[in-house]
Amino acid sequence: MTTLRDQAAVLLPHLAGYTAHRTIAIGIRQGLVRALAETPSGLTADKLAADLALDPFYVGAWCRAAYGARLCDRQGDVYWLEPHMATLLLDTASPAYVGGVFTVLEQDEMFDRFERVLGSGERLWWDGCDPGFIAGVAGTGTPFYTRLIPAGLDQIPGLAERLTAGCKILETACGSGRGLVRLAGAYPACELTGVDGDSLSIANAAKLLGAEGVRAELVTSPLETMAPGEGFTLVVNNISMHECRDIDEVTRRSMEALESGGWFVISDFPFPADDAGLREVPGRIMSGIQFFEAQIGDQLLPREAYDELLARHGFTELGWFQMTPMHAVTYGRKP
């Protein structure tokens, strides 16, 4: 029989987790985590406060909370980051980077707006999001690209050879262009095209590509009406396929864009397909992401849904693999 004490034991860790999340997010935004990362031997709260021109009493409170959250270790009054925390929270080039998720989850678009419109059900789209939120989401998507290109694509039989030799690549929902930059670096012989429905993201992509010296055609268009041309060897979509207003129409147009034998690759969150998975840590995090996804009229999909989608549209040689508990890749070829 479940007791009151049992249920309290369920709730109290949620409060502890919320406290840890806020502590880490504050530490990232205010430079506390970076300052500790730059001094591996450790800092006192007073020295940390002085270096960042912050209040020492407040920084002391943060340090104790960071120790409690296992972000930091300490000896006496000296604090230092636990191993690998700098990589996980600060290194945007690492495939393990998760720091951006802490700050994105605190943006208005995630939970606060959801609660405000809970009664009305008023929807949102990317062009109504704050530019800071869009930039934050782009940052959280970066490690997905880091894992996918080239290591993930290399796992797809026959694809790496074609990409190395040179061909046409289409990235749908290219966002701020980080995937295009990575594709250009990994496959310099390829011709790149990026499509995205958000004009601000396309403008940001143009700036990034210009700064990186990457040549790519950029098209502003909803994926449901895109007409990027034909003859692409690869059509790739990274963590955006679940957002399509008409996922079947997008898949049909992707098929049309591909040459015979070309690959359609979907890199996305694998939302749990059963109740047990929903209560595991990855499922619980993805449930949080759902609060924003609901506002733009969609929800994350179980990975198996992409098998059904590709088969429904006639793709063959289907396959998939998991890169992390929150990142799976599904692919198929045009006959």
CATH for 158:
3.40.50.150
* Whether residue 81 sits in one domain with residue 167: no
* Whether residue 140 sits in one domain with residue 35: no
CATH for 54:
1.10.10.10
This model's pTM is above 0.85: yes
pLDDT of residue 138: 86
In terms of Cβ atoms closer than 10 Å to its own Cβ (0-12, 13-18, 19+), residue 161 is exposed
227 assigned to some structural domain = yes
Integer Cα distance of 32 and 42 in angstroms: 12
* Whether residue 271 sits in one domain with residue 135: yes
In terms of Cβ atoms closer than 10 Å to its own Cβ (0-12, 13-18, 19+), residue 84 is exposed
* Whether residue 254 sits in one domain with residue 117: yes
* Whether residue 310 sits in one domain with residue 202: yes
Low-confidence spans in the chain with pLDDT less than 50: none
* Whether residue 272 sits in one domain with residue 175: yes
* Whether residue 155 sits in one domain with residue 76: no
- Phi, psi angle pair for 264, to nearest 5°: -110, 120
245 assigned to some structural domain = yes
* Whether residue 125 sits in one domain with residue 242: yes
Residues in the chain, overall count: 335
Q: How many domains does the chain have?
A: 2
Residue range(s) defining the domain that contains residue 22: 4-89
100 assigned to some structural domain = no
pLDDT of residue 126: 87
How distant, in Å, are the alpha carbons of 103, 175, 315 from that of 263? 35, 21, 9
- CA 107 to chain CA centroid, Å, is 15
Q: Which residues contact 249 (CB under 8 A, 6 or more apart)?
A: 224
* Whether residue 205 sits in one domain with residue 74: no
pLDDT of residue 233: 98
* Whether residue 143 sits in one domain with residue 71: no
52 assigned to some structural domain = yes
104 assigned to some structural domain = no
85 assigned to some structural domain = yes
pLDDT tens, position by position, 32-62: 999 999 999 999 999 999 999 999 999 999 9
Q: Which two tokens stand for residue 290?
A: 């759902």
94 assigned to some structural domain = no
pLDDT tens, position by position, 73-112: 999 999 999 999 999 999 999 999 999 999 999 999 999 9
DSSP 8-state secondary structure symbol assigned to residue 151 = I
pLDDT of residue 11: 96
